[in-house]
Structure formats: structure tokens, C-alpha cells
């Protein structure tokens, strides 16, 4: 079964809610999913998954340094050719998910659309979009098998 790693940074839980919903969507399509806060993950482990989904909320018009460093480590290890997705909650500008997607694409990851950004706390409709992203990712993963 293809495996999906979902890694997130979330200060108040909004991006975490998104991450759990993406996981739910992928699991509905029978993908083996592990979802956790970035500080619970070892980048070397994440690099072994078939697909990598990274989420971060936006702070001061960018992503916070710990998740940026995590991403750099992951890219140094090598994730070229994998499938990916980027997401995150934001307040008013929402750069972090866009920057994550850019970094992943530069590293040779096929990042699927949409780069999902939800303003503040996700509502039911927002969570349905996250579930949809998880399903889309799962379908793409299966096509690659
Ligand atoms: C100190 C601080 C700085 C922030 N800076 C930004 C910002 O530059 N752009 C933006 O879109 N949102 C900004 N936000 C809003 C957060 O991204 C937003 O509250 C988000 O929902 C937090 O999600 P999380 O609970 O997953 O961390 C900021 C919030 C705080 C507390």
C-alpha cells in the first residue's frame, strides 16, 4: 500500500485540523497515512514515504523558522520525483503554503493543486476541501503504483 506522510506546524490547532482532514480523505481511499506535528517527525523517515504533504500556518508573512529548517533538511536528504501537497491556515496574507509548494517543486516534487489555504479556524466546508485534497492525493498515488 502506498504511504503518505503528513507533517504540519500549527500553533493554535487550525492547521492541525486541516492535516487530520487531509489524512481522513486519503484513508477513505485506502492509503496508509501517518500524520503528526513536525517535531515528532525525523526528516529521514519522511523522505521514505511515497507522498509528502506539508502544512504550516503563516507568521510574519512567511513560515516559522523550525518548519523552514525541517523542509530544508528533507530536501537535502532528497525527495525528487515524489508526489506532494501544501496547505495551511492563515489570517490575512497566507504566504506559508505557497512558499512550501515552491520549495517542494524546486526540489523536484510533483505538487498537486490546490495549494490549500484556509482563513483562521476551518469550518465544515473548509474541512470538506481538505478531505477532497486527501482523496485527490490518494488517487494520484494509486495511479503511480
Ligand atoms: C504573531 C502572529 C503573526 C501572524 N502573522 C500572519 C501573517 O503575516 N500573515 C497571515 O496570513 N496570518 C498571520 N497570522 C495569523 C495566523 O496565521 C492564523 O491565526 C492561523 O489561523 C494560525 O493557524 P495555526 O493554529 O495552525 O497555527 C499571525 C498570527 C500571529 C499570532
Residue 74 three-state SS = helix
- CATH of residue 67: 3.40.50.360
- Grid coordinates of 134: 486527501
Q: How many domains does the chain have?
A: 1
Integer Cα distance of 82 and 3 in angstroms: 11
Burial class of residue 47 (count of CB atoms within 10 Å of its CB; 0-12, 13-18, 19+): middle
User: How much distance in Å is there from the Cα of 42 to the middle of ligand 1?
Assistant: 25
pLDDT tens digits for range 52-110: 999 999 999 999 999 999 999 999 999 999 999 999 999 999 999 999 999 999 999 99
User: How much distance in Å is there from the Cα of 80 to the middle of ligand 1?
Assistant: 30
Whether the per-residue pLDDT at 22 is higher than 90: the answer is yes
* Mutation pick for ligand 1 pocket among 10, 66, 91, 92 (CB with most ligand atoms within 8 Å): 91
Integer Cα distance of 96 and 71 in angstroms: 12
Q: Which atom of ligand 1 lies closest to the CA of 55? A: 26
The predicted pLDDT at position 145 comes to 82
Q: Is the CB of 10 under 6 A from ligand 1?
A: yes
- 57: phi > 0 → left, psi -120 to 50 → alpha, else beta; which? beta
Q: Is the CB of 39 under 6 A from ligand 1?
A: no
Whether the per-residue pLDDT at 134 is higher than 90: the answer is yes
Whether the per-residue pLDDT at 1 is higher than 90: the answer is no
Closest protein CA for atom 12 of ligand 1? 91
**What is the residue range of 21's domain?**
3-144
Integer Cα distance of 134 and 130 in angstroms: 6
Return all residues near 55 (Cβ < 8 A) that are at least 6 apart.
6, 7, 8, 9, 10, 15, 18, 19, 22, 86, 87, 88, 97, 100
User: Given CA atoms 33, 38, 39, 45 in this order, what sign does their dihedral have?
Assistant: positive
Tell me the percentage of the chain whose pLDDT exceeds 90: 98
Closest alpha carbon to 86 in 48, 66, 57: 57
Amino acid at each position: 500500500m502506498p504511504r503518505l506522510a503528513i507533517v504540519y506546524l500549527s500553533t493554535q490547532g487550525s492547521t492541525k485540523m486541516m492535516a487530520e482532514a487531509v489524512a481522513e480523505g486519503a484513508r477513505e481511499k485506502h492509503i496508509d497515512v501517518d500524520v503528526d506535528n513536525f517535531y515528532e517527525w525525523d526528516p529521514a523517515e519522511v523522505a521514505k514515504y511515497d507522498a509528502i504533504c506539508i502544512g504550516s500556518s503563516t507568521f510574519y508573512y512567511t513560515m516559522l523558522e523550525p518548519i523552514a529548517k525541517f523542509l530544508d533538511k528533507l530536501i537535502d536528504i532528497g525527495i525528487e520525483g515524489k508526489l506532494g501537497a501544501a496547505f495551511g491556515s492563515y489570517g490575512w496574507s497566507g504566504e506559508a503554503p505557497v512558499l512550501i509548494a515552491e520549495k517542494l517543486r524546486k526540489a523536484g516534487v510533483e505538487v498537486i493543486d490546490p495549494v490549500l489555504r484556509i482563513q483562521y479556524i476551518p469550518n465544515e466546508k473548509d474541512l470538506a476541501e481538505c478531505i477532497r485534497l486527501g482523496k485527490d492525493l490518494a488517487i494520484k498515488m494509486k495511479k503511480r503504483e
